[in-house]
Chain A
Amino acid sequence: MYVAVKGGERAIDAAHRLLARARRGDRSLPPVESAQIVEQLTLAVDRVMVEGSLYDRELAATAIKQARGDLIEAIFLVRAYRTTLARFGYSDPVETREMKLARRISATFKDLPGGQVLGPTFDYTHRLIDFDTDEPGSDDASPDHAYKERAATPRVAELLADEGLIERPSDSIDGPPADITREAPTFPARRDARLQTLARADEGYLLSLGYSTQRGYGRSHPFVGEIRFGEVDIEFFAEEVGFAVPLGRIRLTECEMVNQFKGSGTAPPQFTTGYGLAFGQSERKAIAMALVDRALRAQELGEECVAPAQDQEFVLSHADNVQATGFVEHLKLPHYVDFQSELSLVRLLRAEFDAAQTTLAREAAE
Chain B
Amino acid sequence: MLVLAKDMRIESETETAGRRRVMAVLARSERVDIDKQIGAIEALPRGRNVRPVQIGLVMLRGRIAGIGAPFNLGEATVTRAVVRLPTGETGFSYVFGRDEEKANRAALVDALWQCPKWRATVESEIIAPLAQMLRRKDAVAAAETAATRVDFFTLVRGED
In contact, B149 and A56 (Cβ under 8 angstroms): no
Q: Is the interface of A mostly helix, strand, loop or mixed?
A: mixed
In contact, B69 and A247 (Cβ under 8 angstroms): no
Residues 99-125 of chain A: 1 if any B CB is under 8 Å from the residue's CB, otherwise 0? Answer: 011110000001100011111000000
Query: Which B residues lie within 8 Å of A149 (CB)?
Result: 142
Chain A, 323-365, CB within 8 A of any chain B CB: none
Q: B141 on the interface (CB 8 Å rule)?
A: yes
Q: A141 on the interface (CB 8 Å rule)?
A: yes
Query: Which A residues lie within 8 Å of B54 (CB)?
Result: 86
Shortest CB-to-CB span from A96 to chain B, Å, is 5
Provide the bound-state CA to CA distance between A169 and B58, in Å: 25
In contact, A116 and B65 (Cβ under 8 angstroms): no
Which chain A residue shows the least CB distance to B29?
Answer: A248
Interface size class of B (residues with CB under 8 A): 35 or more
In contact, A54 and B69 (Cβ under 8 angstroms): no
Q: A92 on the interface (CB 8 Å rule)?
A: yes
Which chain B residue shows the least CB distance to A230?
Answer: B145
In contact, B144 and A86 (Cβ under 8 angstroms): no
Q: A196-B72, A277-B73 are in contact. Are A171 and B67 (CB under 8 A)?
A: yes
Query: Which A residues lie within 8 Å of B78 (CB)?
Result: 88, 236, 247
Shortest CB-to-CB span from B124 to chain A, Å, is 21
Shortest CB-to-CB span from A364 to chain B, Å, is 70
Query: Which B residues lie within 8 Å of A117 (CB)?
Result: 145-146, 148-150
Chain B, 51-78, CB within 8 A of any chain A CB: 54-78
In contact, B94 and A238 (Cβ under 8 angstroms): yes
Query: Which A residues lie within 8 Å of B129 (CB)?
Result: none
Provide the bound-state CA to CA distance between A62 and B154, in Å: 49
In contact, A178 and B56 (Cβ under 8 angstroms): no
Query: Which A residues lie within 8 Å of B23 (CB)?
Result: 245-246
Provide the bound-state CA to CA distance between A58 and B76, in Å: 12
In contact, B94 and A245 (Cβ under 8 angstroms): yes
Q: A59-B77, A118-B150 are in contact. Are A85 and B55 (CB under 8 A)?
A: yes
In contact, B55 and A143 (Cβ under 8 angstroms): no
Query: Which B residues lie within 8 Å of A199 (CB)?
Result: 62, 73-74
Q: B36 on the interface (CB 8 Å rule)?
A: no
In contact, B61 and A85 (Cβ under 8 angstroms): no
Tell which of B68, B70, B98, B145 touches A103, judged by Cβ atoms closer than 8 Å.
Answer: B145
Query: Which A residues lie within 8 Å of B93 (CB)?
Result: 245
Tell which of B59, B64, B146 touches A191, judged by Cβ atoms closer than 8 Å.
Answer: B64
Query: Which B residues lie within 8 Å of A143 (CB)?
Result: 140, 143-144, 146-147
Provide the bound-state CA to CA distance between A73 and B56, in Å: 22
In contact, A91 and B69 (Cβ under 8 angstroms): no
Q: B34 on the interface (CB 8 Å rule)?
A: no
Q: A170 on the interface (CB 8 Å rule)?
A: yes
Which of A143, A171, A241: most chain B Cβ within 10 A?
A241
Q: B11 on the interface (CB 8 Å rule)?
A: no
Q: B24 on the interface (CB 8 Å rule)?
A: yes
Provide the bound-state CA to CA distance between A316 and B36, in Å: 49
Shortest CB-to-CB span from A92 to chain B, Å, is 7
Q: B121 on the interface (CB 8 Å rule)?
A: no
Q: Which of A129-137, A249-257, A303-311 contacts B (4 or more CB under 8 A)?
A: A249-257
Query: Which A residues lie within 8 Å of B92 (CB)?
Result: 238, 240-241, 245
In contact, B145 and A102 (Cβ under 8 angstroms): yes
Q: A245-B23, A247-B76 are in contact. Are A58 and B150 (CB under 8 A)?
A: no
Provide the bound-state CA to CA distance between A250 and B33, in Å: 19
In contact, A102 and B58 (Cβ under 8 angstroms): no
Shortest CB-to-CB span from A209 to chain B, Å, is 19
Q: B101 on the interface (CB 8 Å rule)?
A: no
Query: Which B residues lie within 8 Å of A55 (CB)?
Result: 60, 74-77, 96
Provide the bound-state CA to CA distance between A33 and B77, in Å: 21
Which chain A residue shows the least CB distance to B62?
Answer: A277
Tell which of A82, A145, A195, A245 touches B20, judged by Cβ atoms closer than 8 Å.
Answer: A245
In contact, A171 and B59 (Cβ under 8 angstroms): no
Provide the bound-state CA to CA distance between A96 and B28, in Å: 18
Query: Which B residues lie within 8 Å of A54 (CB)?
Result: 57, 74-77
Q: Could you give 14 example pairs across A and B, Cβ below 8 Å?
A: A54-B75, A54-B77, A92-B61, A94-B62, A118-B149, A143-B140, A171-B63, A173-B69, A241-B92, A248-B96, A250-B60, A250-B96, A256-B66, A279-B74
